[in-house]
Structure 1
Amino acid sequence: MPTILSVSGSPSAASRTARLLRHLDARLVAHGHRVVELDIRTLSAQALLGADFQHPDMVTATELFAQADGVIIGTPVYKAAYSGLLKSLLDLLPQDALAGKTVLPLATGGSTAHVLAIDYALRPVLTSMGAAHIVQGRFVLDRQLDLREDGTLAIKPTAAEALHQALDQFSGALDRATRLTAVS
């Protein structure tokens, strides 16, 4: 059973991005995957901004990446790029932190003007960190995600369909990679 690290790069506790990831995590668990959640905002800000590689939070985050077979990276888009919080963590990880891993990038934002942030801002960084396979990412408009009073998330049908297709592609790529590794 592959292990998936689900990383939220949102600085907000009431984040649509984080809730979207948790929704997708539940779907992956229902399909037999083991999912480990990492909300970067819960890591030490001092360690992130001070580049304290030895801080226990950074050591743990690095270990989580090392143990994962696949990684889902979710981020809100700010000023046409992924969040600074996500950037801070990626900068502290080893250069090969994604080596051999299947990665699914996801982004949320308020305008379709930011739809290319995945391909032009995030994908090059993920590639430089050695990702073996970066599945076609998905951008979701904030207005397609409704936060309910009970804390759950409702996703508009067209967005849900595209997200589930991306998740299925990610899961399939991850399963193929895991089988290939087991044969080697």
Structure 2
Amino acid sequence: MATVLSVSGSPSATSRTARLLRHLDRRLTARGHEVIPLDVRTLPAAALLGADFGHPAIVAATESFARADGIVVGTPVYKAAYSGLLKSLLDVLPQHALAGKTVLPLATGGTTAHVLAIDYALRPVLSTMGAAHVVQGWFTLDRDILVGDDGTLTVAEGAAEALVQVVDRFSDALDSRTALLTASR
């Protein structure tokens, strides 16, 4: 069983991005992975913005990255890039915090004009942080993520099918990498 850190880079407490991630976490759990959620918005702003590497919350987040076999990074897209909140977290992590990790980038946004934010903004940063394998990411339109009055999440049919495939490919890549590392020990 692999450990997956599921990171939401949304600053909003009612974020569709975070809700979508938690929805996908259940799929990963059903596939046998231990999933640890991390909502970056819960980290102290002063520690993030002041690059307080020694702050207990930053140390704990860094340890969560180190412990994980795989990372799911979800972000809303603002101005054709990932969120500033996510950038603040990535900036306080060690340069090679993703070394040896399998990573799945996910993004949400209001228009398909933002679809390339994963490949042109987020993927390069994840790669420079040492990710062993950044699997094909996915962009989901906000209008395809429906939140009911009771807080239940529904993903539009086409988007839901695509997300299942993307998450399953990530899970398969993670399983393969974990098996390879276990066999080499």
Q: State the TM bucket, normalised to the shorter chain.
A: over 0.9
Cα drift, residue 30 of structure 1: 1.3
What SS does the aligned partner of 1:74 have? Answer: strand
Q: Which residue of 1 aligns with 2:132?
A: 132
Q: Partners in 2 of 1:68 and 1:84 — Cα distance?
A: 23
Aligned AA (2:55): H
Q: Which residue of 2 aligns with 1:152?
A: 152
Cα drift, residue 50 of structure 1: 0.5
**Aligned pair 1:65/2:60, yes or no?**
no
Q: Which runs of 5+ in 2 are unaligned?
A: none
Q: Partners in 1 of 2:18 and 2:166 — Cα distance?
A: 17
Q: Any residues of structure 2 matched to 1:29-178 within 5 Å, and which?
A: 29-178=29-178
Q: Partners in 2 of 1:178 and 1:27 — Cα distance?
A: 18
Residues 81-128 of structure 1 deviation map (CA, whole Å, 9 limit, x = unaligned): 000000000000001100000000000000000000000000000000
Aligned AA (2:77): V
Q: Which residue of 2 aligns with 1:181?
A: 181
Cα drift, residue 131 of structure 1: 0.4
Aligned AA (2:95): Q
Residues 49-95 of structure 1 deviation map (CA, whole Å, 9 limit, x = unaligned): 01100000100000000000000000000000000000000000001
Q: Partners in 1 of 2:152 and 2:20 — Cα distance?
A: 9
Q: Partners in 2 of 1:29 and 1:150 — Cα distance?
A: 23
Cα drift, residue 149 of structure 1: 1.1
Q: TM-score, normalised by structure 2?
A: 0.99
What SS does the aligned partner of 1:149 have? Answer: coil
Q: CA RMSD in A?
A: 0.4
* Runs of 4+ that moved beyond 4 A: none
Q: Which residue of 2 aligns with 1:6?
A: 6
Cα drift, residue 32 of structure 1: 1.0
Residues 102-160 of structure 1 deviation map (CA, whole Å, 9 limit, x = unaligned): 00000000000000000000000000000000110000000001011111110001000
Identity %: 72
Aligned AA (1:78): Y
Q: Partners in 2 of 1:126 and 1:70 — Cα distance?
A: 12
Q: Partners in 2 of 1:90 and 1:167 — Cα distance?
A: 22
Q: TM-score, normalised by structure 1?
A: 0.99
Q: Which residue of 2 aligns with 1:25?
A: 25
Aligned AA (1:148): G
